[in-house]
C-alpha cells in the first residue's frame, strides 16, 4: 500500500506522526508552498521567508535520508495556491492508496482537511499531533464543568501530571509560581547580551529574493533576517539560550530596553511553533541546566511555566471554543486599528520601540506584546478582530492557535474573562518602571492629564470609566474603582474627553 504523506509548514519535525511509519520504498512525502497560506493575512516578510526556507531545508534533509519528496514551490506556474488544490494534483500524480496527515494547528486548515475524503474519494488518515504535553481531549476533560479557566490551575495539574519541578510530591522550592521574583527592571549600567543570529545561506537568500518581489507591500524589513532555518541551527539556538541566557531569564523576563528586542528571552518560539524544535526537548534541555546547578529556580520555573503552562493552555482554549471564540467582543470595542501599528510613527516612545523592533525582527517578547501594544489596544478599545489580525501578521512565531487566545482573552479581554480574571490594563507608571522607554519620550508618565501627560495614563482611567458596567464588580478591580468613586462627574468627563480627542486624532488603516 502506498501513502501520500502531507507535511504542513508548521510540522517540520522528523518525528511528526505523519512520518512515523513511512516506507521509503513505497511512500511519498508531499510539501507545498501555497499562496493561500502567505496571504490569508499579509504576513511579515520575515515570517514568510522563515517558513519557506525552513520547509525547503527540511525537504532536503528528508531527501538525504533517501525519502521521496514531492515539493511544490510558490512560484511553480502550475501551483493552484491552496492545500486542497495541491493535494488533488499530487494525488493524480502518485495515485496513493491513502493520504496521511497530522492534525493541523489552525481551525481553518482543519476545515479543509475535513473535506478531503469526500473530494478525493481516497482514505484520509488524520493523526493527533503528539508534540504537545496535553492533548486536545485531555484539555477538554480538565475544562469540563468549569465556567472559566485559569492557567495557574491548569499549570499545577500539568506539573503534577508530568512531574516537572516536583520533588516528593510537592513543587520544588515549596511554591508553584515564582513570578514575583521575575519582575526586575533592566539595570541602567548593564549592556544587553549579544544574541545568536544566523547569516542567510543560499537557500534562504533565494527565498528572501522571492519574498521581496512577491510580497513587497507586506509589513517588515526582510534584510534584517537572522533566524535559523534548519534543525541544526534551532538546536544551536537552544544550546545558546540554555547556557548563556536562561540563568538570568527569570530576573529580567519582564524588563524592556530600547533597541534590545531579545534581552535574555529564549527566541525559540518560532522554532518550536514551526516544528524545528519540540516543546519537550526544549524543556528537558533547560531542566538539565537547572539540575546541574547552573540555572536558579525562579528562572527555570518561569521558563517552564511559559511552555508547559501558557503554551499548552492557550492551545486547549483555542480548540475547545473555536470557531465561536474569535467572534466575542465582551467590552464592545469598536475602534479601528491606528496606522501607527504599521508605521511605528508616534511620539509614544514605548509604542515606537515595540513596533520598530517588530518591523526589523518579526519578534517582540511577551511583555512588549502584552503591556505595550496589547495594553494600548485594550485601553483604546480597538476592535478585537483587527488587533488579532495584526498580531497574526507581524510575528514569526504567530499561528492562530497560539495568537488568538493570547490576544483575544489575555490582551483585550474580549472573551469577558473566560481565561483571565481581569483585564491586563496599566498606565504609564508600569511602563516607566519596567523599561527605559519613558526617559526619551515626548510624554511624561508622571503627568496624568494635559498635553504632556503619558497617553497611557488618561487612557487607563477613561477605559475604567467607560467599562464600569462590565468591570466595577470584578473583585480584582476593587482598588482602581474605589479611586474612581471619589471623582466627580466633571473630572471623569474631562478624562474621557481627553482620551477621545487623542484617539480620534490617530489615522487608521494600513500605511
Locus of grid cell 540563568 = 247
Q: Cell 520504498 identifies what position? A: 25
For the stretch 285-310, pLDDT in tens is 999 999 999 999 999 999 999 999 99
* CA distance readout (Å), 240 to 65, 79, 235, 245, 258: 28, 39, 9, 7, 23
Asked whether residue 510 carries a pLDDT value surpassing 90, the answer given is no
- Mean per-residue pLDDT, 310-319: 98
Torsion-angle region of residue 16: left (phi > 0), alpha (psi -120 to 50) or beta?
beta
Give helix 312-321 / helix 151-162 axis angle, nearest 10°.
Answer: 120
Give the separation between CA 469 and CA 330, rounded to whole angstroms.
11
Over the range 86-125, which residues count as b (16 or more CB within 10 Å of their CB) and which as e?
A: bbebbbeebebeebbbbbbbbbebeebbeebeeebeeebe
Q: How many CA atoms lie within 13 A of 281 on its CB side?
A: 18
Share of residues in the chain with pLDDT > 70 (%) = 100
Tell me which H or E stretch contains 3: strand 3-6
User: Does the pLDDT value for residue 180 go beyond 90?
Assistant: no
pLDDT value at residue 229:
98
Q: Is the peptide bond preceding residue 323 cis, with omega within 30 degrees of 0?
A: yes
Burial status of residue 190 (CB atoms within 10 A of its CB: 0-12, 13-18, 19 or more): exposed
Burial level of 475, CB count in 10 A (0-12/13-18/19+)?
exposed
Write phi, then psi, for 131 (nearest 5 degrees): -85, 0
Q: Where are the alpha helices (DSSP H) in 413-454?
A: 428-434
Using CA atoms, how far apart are residues 434 and 437, in angstroms rounded to an integer? 9
Question: pLDDT of 443-480, one tens digit each?
Answer: 999 999 999 999 999 999 999 999 999 999 999 999 99
Cell numbers representing residue 419 in the block: 481565561
Domains (range + CATH), the chain: 3-127 (3.40.50.620), 136-195+245-321 (1.25.40.80), 340-504 (1.10.579.10)
pLDDT band at residue 1 under the 50/70/90 scheme: confident
For residues 254 and 183, is the Cβ–Cβ distance under 8 A?
yes
**Best CA proximity match to 333, nearest among 415, 223, 264:** 415
In tens, the pLDDT along 404-433 reads 999 999 999 999 999 999 999 999 999 999
- Cα separation, 461 vs 153, in Å, equals 31
Q: How far is CA 182 from CA 178, 186, 302, 366, in A?
A: 7, 11, 7, 13
Mean pLDDT for the stretch of residues 23-36:
97
Q: What is the pLDDT of residue 431?
A: 97
State the cell numbers at 485.
468613586
Cα 485 to Cα 214: distance, rounded to the nearest angstrom: 55
What cell numbers appear for 83 in the block?
Answer: 492545500
Check: CB of residue 29 under 8 Å from CB of residue 5: yes
Per-residue pLDDT for 181 more than 90?
A: no
Q: Which residues pair with 70 in a beta bridge?
A: 30
Question: What is the three-state SS of 211-259?
Answer: HHHHCCCCCCCHHHCCCCCCHHHHHHHHHHHHHHCHHHHHHHCCCCCCC
Sequence-separated (6 or more) residues with CB below 8 Å from residue 60: 203
When the pLDDT of each residue in the chain is averaged and rounded to a whole number, the result is 97
pLDDT digits (tens, 9 = 90+) for 378-393: 999 999 999 999 999 9
Q: Say how far apart CA 70 and CA 123 lie, in whole Å.
A: 19
Task: Report pLDDT for 511.
Answer: 66
The radius of gyration of the chain's CA atoms, rounded to the nearest angstrom, is 24
Rounded to whole angstroms, the Cα distance separating 277 from 13 reads 7
Retrieve residue 475's grid coordinates: 473583585
Residue 10 has pLDDT above 80, yes or no: yes
Name residues whose C-beta falls within 8 Å of residue 451's C-beta, 6 or more positions apart in sequence.
none
What is the pTM (predicted TM-score) of this model?
Answer: 0.96
Phi, psi (deg, nearest 5) at residue 291: -65, -25
Measured distance CA(215)–CA(377) in Å, rounded: 27
State the Cα–Cα distance between residues 284 and 322, nearest whole angstrom: 31
Q: What nine digits make up the cell of 181?
A: 521574583
Amino acid at each position: 500500500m502506498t501513502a501520500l504523506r502531507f507535511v504542513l509548514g508548521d510540522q517540520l519535525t522528523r518525528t511528526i506522526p505523519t512520518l512515523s511509519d513511512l516506507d521509503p520504498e513505497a511512500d511519498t512525502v508531499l510539501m507545498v508552498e501555497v499562496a493561500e497560506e502567505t496571504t490569508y493575512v499579509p504576513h511579515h516578510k520575515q515570517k514568510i521567508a522563515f517558513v519557506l526556507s525552513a520547509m525547503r531545508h527540511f525537504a532536503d534533509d528528508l531527501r538525504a535520508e533517501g525519502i521521496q519528496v514531492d515539493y511544490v514551490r510558490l512560484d511553480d506556474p502550475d501551483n493552484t495556491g491552496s492545500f486542497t488544490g495541491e493535494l488533488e494534483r499530487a494525488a493524480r500524480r502518485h495515485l496513493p492508496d491513502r493520504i496521511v496527515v497530522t492534525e493541523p494547528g489552525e481551525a481553518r486548515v482543519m476545515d479543509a482537511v475535513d473535506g478531503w475524503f469526500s473530494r478525493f474519494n481516497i482514505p484520509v488518515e488524520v493523526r493527533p499531533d503528539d508534540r504537545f504535553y496535553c492533548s486536545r481531549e485531555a484539555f477538554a476533560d480538565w475544562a469540563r464543568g468549569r465556567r472559566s479557566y485559569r492557567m495557574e490551575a491548569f499549570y499545577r495539574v500539568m506539573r503534577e501530571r508530568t512531574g516537572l519541578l516536583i520533588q516528593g510530591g510537592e513543587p520544588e522550592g515549596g511554591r508553584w509560581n515564582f513570578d514575583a521574583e521575575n519582575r526586575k527592571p533592566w539595570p541602567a549600567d548593564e549592556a544587553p547580551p549579544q544574541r545568536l543570529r544566523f547569516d542567510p545561506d543560499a537557500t534562504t537568500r533565494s527565498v528572501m529574493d522571492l519574498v521581496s518581489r512577491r510580497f513587497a507591500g507586506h509589513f517588515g524589513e526582510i534584510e534584517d533576517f537572522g533566524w535559523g532555518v534548519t534543525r541544526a541551527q534551532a538546536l544551536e539556538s537552544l544550546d545558546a539560550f540554555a547556557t548563556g541566557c536562561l540563568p538570568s531569564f527569570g530576573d529580567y523576563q519582564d524588563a524592556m530596553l530600547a533597541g534590545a528586542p531579545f534581552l535574555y528571552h529564549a527566541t525559540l518560539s518560532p522554532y518550536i511553533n514551526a516544528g524545528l524544535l519540540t516543546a519537550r526537548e526544549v524543556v528537558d534541555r533547560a531542566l538539565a541546566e537547572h539540575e546541574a546547578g547552573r540555572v536558579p529556580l525562579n528562572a527555570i520555573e518561569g521558563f517552564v511555566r511559559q511552555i508547559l503552562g501558557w503554551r499548552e493552555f492557550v492551545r486547549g482554549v483555542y480548540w475547545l471554543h473555536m470557531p465561536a471564540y474569535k467572534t466575542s467582543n465582551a467590552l464592545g470595542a469598536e475602534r479601528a486599528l491606528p496606522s501607527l501599528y504599521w508605521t511605528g510613527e508616534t511620539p509614544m516612545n514605548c509604542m515606537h520601540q515595540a513596533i520598530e523592533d517588530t518591523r526589523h525582527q518579526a519578534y517582540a517578547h511577551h511583555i512588549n506584546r502584552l503591556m505595550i501594544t496589547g495594553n494600548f489596544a485594550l485601553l483604546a478599545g480597538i476592535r478585537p478582530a483587527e488587533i488579532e489580525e495584526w498580531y497574526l501578521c507581524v510575528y514569526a512565531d504567530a499561528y492562530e492557535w497560539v495568537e488568538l487566545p493570547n490576544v483575544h482573552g489575555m490582551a483585550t479581554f474580549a472573551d469577558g474573562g473566560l481565561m483571565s480574571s481581569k483585564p491586563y490594563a496599566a498606565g504609564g507608571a508600569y511602563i516607566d518602571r519596567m523599561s527605559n522607554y519613558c526617559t526619551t519620550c515626548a510624554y511624561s508618565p508622571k503627568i496624568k492629564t494635559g498635553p504632556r501627560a503619558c497617553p497611557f495614563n488618561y487612557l487607563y482611567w477613561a477605559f475604567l470609566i467607560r467599562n464600569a458596567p462590565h468591570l466595577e464588580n470584578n473583585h480584582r478591580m476593587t482598588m482602581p474603582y474605589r479611586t474612581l468613586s471619589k471623582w466627580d462627574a466633571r473630572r471623569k468627563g474631562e478624562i474621557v474627553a481627553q482620551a477621545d480627542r487623542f484617539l480620534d486624532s490617530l489615522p487608521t488603516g494600513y500605511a
